[in-house]
Copies of this chain bind each other. A is one copy, B any other.
Amino acid sequence: MKSGLSFLIAARRCEINDLEQLTRTSALVNVIGHLVHALQKERGISNVFLGSQGARFAEQLPLQVRECRQAEDELRASFDHLDTDAGHLSNGARLFSRIAFVLHELDGLPELRQHIARQDVAAADATAAFVKLIAGLLAVVFEAADSATNPEISRLLVAMFNFMQGKEFSGQERAFGAATFASGRTDSQRQQQWLHLIQSQERCVQVFSDFSTPELRELWQSGQSPATMAELERLRRIACSAAAGALDPNLSQSWFDCCTHRIDAMKTVEDQLAAELLSLCGQKIVQARAELHDHQMILAAHNGHANGMPVAAGQVSPPALPYGPHLDRSILELVQEQASRLQAMSDELETTRASLNERKLVERAKGLLMAHRKLSEEDAYKMLRQTAMNQNRRLADVAEAVLAMADYLAAGKP
């Protein structure tokens, strides 16, 4: 019959298994980061190429496509290494569905590239296709962050997801700005969209800061070169000032270079974050294994005791305490220690995960609009974003307001 101690050991094994799974997921997140980075650049280059009617970046584009293909192969190989047969990955149903979506979008990429090369797709439509694919890739990262059971690792994954999301808004700003400068004109609606992208970046970076380590915050601060930031803000000011209408198409190149410089610096922070994530997983596994070993030693001692090892002279055998008084006390302590540790972990985890709720609110509001207004996912998101921009409110606040109105939306159905 299994003892309490053997269940403590089983609990530790589950913990170690969770940690090993987190290590694999963290490695996957890292590979996703590489592909996202390459795609963000391809999106920017494609936009300049399309915006300038093929006059700019005609040479860089195929080179960047090749880089993307390499990163895609690397990611597909990582997907192939995932254990999809066992069916016992916690959160597996969600994670694998997200991956299925990503693979479906990746399969459509060659066709999109043909359209871009032939210049028979609008810059905005090409951007939208890239945005959709990258959003799918970030959704995989989100599921990883949402499934972590260790609070410290969860904190780093939340920092990672928000940093990647912030970097994606920077990438969208690069692509949007590149197309706008290249087209030689802007208007108030574009300016509003631009400002929204800037605010979205800042919010994500704030969450990253909140959940990150001091070293990573320091790396992020020092990576933001003052010269690059000054040039970035100057070009933003030119494009977003009230008097703007006509823009100098030549600024497209400066804008792209300056954004790229900044985004490449972000990638350095992201890589460092990924390295720390893996190292933290490794530490936690070593620690959990050492504790498992301690438990196993106690169990071995107990089994020796129970198997009739000699009882010291003068020691009364205590029938009510199955492990002997000393072992019984140490097991009770272990049980209590483990229970309060798991409780503390669970509390901390809840606090960390709360920061993921913002995204969940937006997802739910989108779902509601899709169901009751018969909108596509993209249009539902656009509707939410437009309301946020018009009312100058946070996207999550608008989502919350939409969810609060759920009954009214449903009542409006035919």
Contact = CB atoms under 8 A, between A and B. Distances in A.
A5 B104 CA distance: 9
A7 interface: yes
Main secondary structure on A side of the interface with B? helix
A10 interface: yes
A126 to B, nearest CB: 15
A408 interface: no
B14 A100 contact: no
A350 B356 CA distance: 13
A251 to B, nearest CB: 35
A383 interface: no
A343 interface: yes
A103 interface: yes
Interface string A164-188: 0000000000000000000000000
Nearest to A114: B320
A57 interface: no
Contacts of A6: 84
Contacts of A346: 94, 360
A338 interface: yes
B4 A93 contact: no
Contact of A7 (B14, B99, B110): B99
A80 B367 contact: no
A342 B94 contact: yes
B87 A13 contact: yes
Given A14-B96, A18-B93, A7 B364 contact: no
B335 A8 contact: no
A93 B1 contact: no
A88 B331 CA distance: 24
Contacts of A344: 367
Given A149-B93, A322-B107, A87 B340 contact: no
Given A85-B10, A335-B101, A363-B343, A320 B111 contact: yes
A7 B103 contact: yes
A90 interface: yes
Contacts of A11: 92-97, 100
A42 B4 CA distance: 23
Contacts of A92: 10-11, 13-14, 17
Contact of A87 (B5, B14, B96, B347): B14
A82 B111 CA distance: 51
Given A320-B108, A364-B347, A14 B88 contact: yes
A32 B56 CA distance: 71
Given A9-B84, A15-B93, A347-B364, 12 more contacts: A2-B79, A2-B103, A4-B102, A10-B87, A13-B87, A104-B331, A107-B322, A114-B320, A340-B367, A340-B370, A343-B364, A344-B367
18 contacts: A2-B80, A4-B107, A6-B84, A8-B96, A10-B87, A13-B84, A13-B87, A14-B87, A14-B92, A14-B93, A16-B87, A18-B93, A88-B90, A98-B339, A101-B339, A107-B321, A108-B320, A343-B364
